[in-house]
Amino acid sequence: MARFITRRLAQALVVLFGVSIVVFVLVRITGDPTALLVSADARPEDIERYRTSLGLDRPWHEQYLHFVGHALRGDFGNSFRHREPAIALVLERIPNTLMLTGAAMLLAYSLPILAGLLSAMRPNTALDALIRGIAICAQAAPSFWLGLVLMMIFSVRLDWLPPTGSSTLRGIILPAITLSAFFMATNVRLLRSSMLEVLSRDYVRTARAKGLSESLAIRRHAFKNAAIPLVTMAGIQFASMIGGAIVTETVFAYPGMGLLAIQSIQSRDYPVIQAFVLVSAITIVVVNLLIDLAYVWLDPRIGLEG
């Protein structure tokens, strides 16, 4: 158990080290970042002074150590646009983004379980066909468009919900549905197929044969096993949602770090982009670590293997 946790922690550190290199390299892909940072009419000696002040005249490994040293202290430099520390801007927005992804995760792991079970328990009926049909269509709809359609229906036509997103209950409903739709659909299909597979296994047949009621057989024996793929997917889905939040937040003008990232990209605000990529990665690594720990708690065999 302890060994498993230390190993996962070590892996997480290796991943974060790698991500820091990726972020460092990102801005240097084009060559000299000063070209991006100074105005086009700057004098050569000004550019040279700027290069020295950023440490760009030093060898790359020194530059990397410099970058990591500052990044560890949360220093990515000031945002060009806001004249504030880039990291502060990102951290300010992260609660909103976590609220949105949290709401979307909640949706993705509630309704689909009901729908998936209904579908699997009455396979090849009209209800099953309906659920599967909706799921496969929802999986195909691009989220930026789905957001606009929901806005058109529920904000413009029906005037039920505000067209701009916010972290209030009313303001988060449409963005959360938009962000979650693809994952809800995926989870319905995932649970249906794993449930059908589990229901054909011997231990479920035994449970039925020994006279357990159908609902008890399903609850006690089948569902727990069928839900394993869903738990496994949770970490990957959370990571995808952090990426998807960029799109959802842009569509609904929801004040999260994804919207900040898009605005920063439009104004070439590289310190903010760097801070955003690193903060996203740290969030994902931490959440995945927590999911792994929850996994050990749910299924002690996993801890013993490590």
Partner 1 sequence: MAIAASSTDSTLAIQRPSAVHRWLQHLTARPSGLLGLVIVVTFVLLAILAPVVAPHDPLQQNWKVRLEPPLTSGDDGQLYILGTDSLGRDILSRLIFGARISIAVAVLAVALRSSMGVLIGLAAGYYRGPTDAVLMRLADIQLAIPFLVLAIALMAIIGTGFSKIVLVLGVTGWVTYGRIVRSEVLSVRERDYVEAARAIGAPNRTILFRHVLPNVSSSIIVISTLEIALMITAEATLSFLGLGVQPPTPSWGVMVADGRDLIYGQWWVSAWPGLAICLAVLGVNLLGDWLRDVLDPTTRGGALQRRLSKRDA
Interface residues toward partner 1, by CB under 8 A: 11, 14-16, 18-19, 22, 26-27, 29-30, 124, 136-137, 139-146, 148-149, 151-152, 156, 236, 239-240, 242-244, 246-247, 250-251, 261-262, 265-266, 268, 273, 276-277, 280-281, 284-285, 288
Q: Which residue number, 11 or 166, has a Cβ lying nearer to partner 1?
A: 11
Write down the residue that tokens 């794993």 correspond to. 194
3-state secondary structure at position 203: helix
Count of alpha carbons within 13 angstroms of residue 127, beta-carbon side: 11
78 DSSP β-pair partners: 85
Q: Where are the alpha helices (DSSP H) in 122-168?
A: 126-140, 143-150
Q: Minimum CB separation from partner 1 for residue 53, in Å?
A: 22
Question: Judged by CB, which is closer to partner 1: 90, or 207?
Answer: 90
Residue 234 or 242 having the CB closest to partner 1: 242
Residue 207 or 257: the one with the smaller Cβ distance to partner 1 is: 257
Q: How many CA atoms lie within 13 A of 283 on its CB side?
A: 22
Q: Least CB distance from residue 212 to partner 1, whole Å?
A: 26
**Lookup: tokens for 63:** 């530059």
What's the min distance (Å) between Cβ of 219 and partner 1?
A: 26
Min. distance of Cβ 2 from partner 1 in angstroms?
22
Residue with Cβ nearer partner 1 (63 or 250): 250
Extract the runs of DSSP E, i.e. beta strands, from 67-180: none
In the bound state with partner 1, the residue whose beta carbon lies nearer, of 215 and 266, is 266
Of residues 223 and 238, the one with the C-beta less far from partner 1? 238
Q: Residue 36 Cβ, how far from partner 1 at the closest point, in Å?
A: 8
Q: Identify whether the C-beta of residue 160 lies closer than 8 Å to the C-beta of residue 154.
A: yes
CB of 10 to partner 1, least distance (A): 11
The sign of the CA dihedral 44, 47, 53, 58 is negative
For residue 250, the minimal CB distance to partner 1 (Å) is 6
**Cα–Cα distance measured from residue 155 to residue 157, given in angstroms and rounded to the nearest whole number:** 6
Residue keyed to tokens 């909640």: 106
39-to-48, 245, 262, 264 alpha-carbon distances in Å: 13, 32, 21, 17
Which residue, among 248, 243, 227, has the nearest Cα to 179 in the 3D structure?
A: 248
